[in-house]
A = this chain, B = another copy of it.
Amino acid sequence: IAKEVAKLLEMKAQLGGDEGKHKFVLKTPKGTRDYSPKQMAIRERVFNAIITCFKRHGAEVIDTPVFELKETLTGKYGEDSKLIYDLKDQGGELLSLRYDLTVPFARYLAMNKITNIKRYHIAKVYRRDNPAMTRGRYREFYQCDFDIAGQFDPMIPDAECLKIVHEILSDLQLGDFLIKVNDRRILDGMFAVCGVPDSKFRTICSSVDKLDKVRAGALGCNCRCWSFSEPEAWPVPTGGLDLIERLLQDPKLSQNKLAKEGLGDMKLLFEYLTLFGITGKISFDLSLARGLDYYTGVIFEAVLLQQENDHVEESVSVGSVAGGGRYDGLVGMFDPKGRKVPCVGVSIGIERIFSILEQRVEASEEKIRTTETQVLVASAQKKLLEERLKLISELWDAGIKAEVLYKKNPKLLNQLQYCEETGIPLVAIVGEQELKDGVVKLRDVATREEVNIRRESLVEEIRMRTSRP
C-alpha cells in the first residue's frame, strides 16, 4: 500500500505541476470566433461586393467607437436592451458595447449637427444573445449599414435602400431571395382599428417579429387581423400593389389616418420599385413587424429562400440576411432641442452570407490563395543567403511582392514545394554562375520552364508575367 500511495502521490505531483502552469481554457469567448486566412479571403470578397455597391450609390463612410456611453443606448432597443454588453465600472464613465450601428449613427448626427448625409459603416456589433453559430448567429458579428439622413420627398431614399439590398444579394449569387416590406404606420393603424391599446403596440410588434405565428389576440387584440390561418380576416397577408389597393379600399382601415398615410407611401414605394425593375423579389407582407423600437415608417427584411445543400424539403425562408427601415425620431432623441432628422437605412448581416459562401467554397474544392506573393527568391546552392537578401530587397523596393525562406541554406526542392503549397507563380533563382553573368534564373512554377533574365530587366519581367489580363 505504501508503495502504491507513493506512486499516486508522485503522479499527482506531476499532474499538479502541469495544471498549475496551464490550467486556463484555450478558446475564444462564447459566441465569437477567429477568422483564419482562408476565411478572411472569403470575407474580403463579401465586403468588396457590399462596399462596391455602397460606393456605387454615392455613400461616404464613417467610423465610431466600439463602445458608447451607456445612456446613449438606453431606451432605444425596447426588450432587447437586456442583450447589451456593459463594461465593468473601473472608475469614470459607464460604457456599453454598441448593439447596432444605427444608434451610434444617430448620436453622431445629433452631436455634429448634421442634417443631411448618405453614409455607410461596416463594423462589429455585440449582443448577449443565445448564439447559434452553425446558423450564423454570433455574439460578435459584422453589420454593413447604409443610411440616408435628411428631409427629402417621400419614398425616394426608401426605394434606393431596397434597390441596394437587391443589388447586393443578386451580386453575391446566394440563390433566390425575397425582400419583405411593411410599414409601422400600417401596423399601428391596424392595431388601432382593432382596438388594441396604444401601450401594447410595441409589445405586439416585438412578439409578431419574433414568433412569426403569434396570435396578437393573446396580447390584447381581439379581432382576427393576425389570424392568417383564417383567411376571411384580411384578404391575404402578402402581395404587391394589388394588396395595397385592396387595403386602401377597406372602409375601416382607410379611415385611420396613420394606416392611410402608410398605405399611400407604400403605393408610391412600389411605383419606384417598378421603375427600378425589382418588384419581382419584393413582397408587401403584413406579418413583418421587426422588433426594434425606433422604426417609424417603412420596414423591410430580406430572406434567402433556398440554401445550397438544403436538407429541408420545402423552399421556405432559411434566414434573414438584411433588414432596415425608416426611423424619423431617433436623431431627435439625441438633439438637445429635439430637432428631428428623418432617416432610412439598411443593414446587411454578413455572417450568414459568409457561412453559405464558405460551405460553397469547401464543396467546390476551389483553391483560395491567402497571399498575393508574385515571386519566391531562391537559391540552388549553399552560402547564398546574402545574395538572396540583396535581391529580395531590390524587388521589395520596386514594389514586387516577394518572399524568401528564412533559412541559411534551404534545399531547392523545399523552396519549390513552398511555391506549390502557397500558389506563388514564379521563382527567381540566384546561383554562382547567374551572379557572374549578371542574370537571374526565372522559373515558372506551373510549367517548370526556366529562362535567364538580365538582372536589370527582372522587375519588368515579373510584373509582365503576373499582371492579370
* Chain A interface residues toward B at CB < 8 A: 21-22, 24-30, 32-37, 40, 43, 55-69, 71-72, 74, 85-90, 92-93, 95, 97, 107-108, 110-112, 119, 124, 126, 128, 140, 148, 150, 152-153, 156-157, 159-160, 163, 167, 272, 275-277, 333-338, 370-373, 385-386, 389-390, 393, 396-397, 399-404, 406-408, 422
CA distance A161 to B119 in the complex (A): 37
B contact residues around A26 at 8 Å (CB) = 107, 110-111, 334, 336
- Report if A61-B90 is in contact (Cβ < 8 Å); known contacts: A69-B27, A396-B167: no
B65 touches A24 (CB 8 A): no
A148 touches B406 (CB 8 A): yes
CA distance A88 to B89 in the complex (A): 7
Beyond A32-B65, A57-B403, A276-B393, 15 additional pairs, beta carbon < 8 A: A22-B334, A22-B337, A22-B338, A24-B72, A25-B71, A35-B62, A55-B401, A58-B422, A86-B87, A87-B97, A153-B407, A156-B385, A156-B404, A163-B393, A167-B397
B contact residues around A65 at 8 Å (CB) = 28-29, 32-34, 140
B contact residues around A404 at 8 Å (CB) = 156
- Report if A62-B89 is in contact (Cβ < 8 Å); known contacts: A69-B27, A111-B27, A152-B407: no
CA distance A157 to B404 in the complex (A): 10
- Report if A56-B399 is in contact (Cβ < 8 Å); known contacts: A34-B108, A87-B85: yes
CA distance A272 to B408 in the complex (A): 12
Interface centre among A21, A32, A88 (most CB of B within 10 A): A88
B157 touches A406 (CB 8 A): yes
B37 touches A60 (CB 8 A): yes
> Residue on B with the closest CB to A60?
B37
* Least Cβ–Cβ distance between A142 and chain B, in angstroms: 10
CA distance A408 to B66 in the complex (A): 38
**Residue in B62, B71, B93 whose CB lies within 8 Å of A40:** B62
B89 touches A56 (CB 8 A): no
A401 touches B56 (CB 8 A): yes
* Least Cβ–Cβ distance between A70 and chain B, in angstroms: 10
B58 touches A371 (CB 8 A): yes
> Residue on B with the closest CB to A107?
B26
A29 touches B93 (CB 8 A): yes
B contact residues around A36 at 8 Å (CB) = 62, 112
- Report if A272-B29 is in contact (Cβ < 8 Å); known contacts: A62-B40, A396-B167, A406-B153: no
* Least Cβ–Cβ distance between A40 and chain B, in angstroms: 5
List 10 A-B residue pairs with CB atoms under 8 Å apart, sorted by A's residue number: A29-B68, A30-B93, A34-B62, A40-B62, A56-B396, A58-B373, A66-B140, A85-B90, A86-B88, A153-B408
A34 touches B64 (CB 8 A): yes
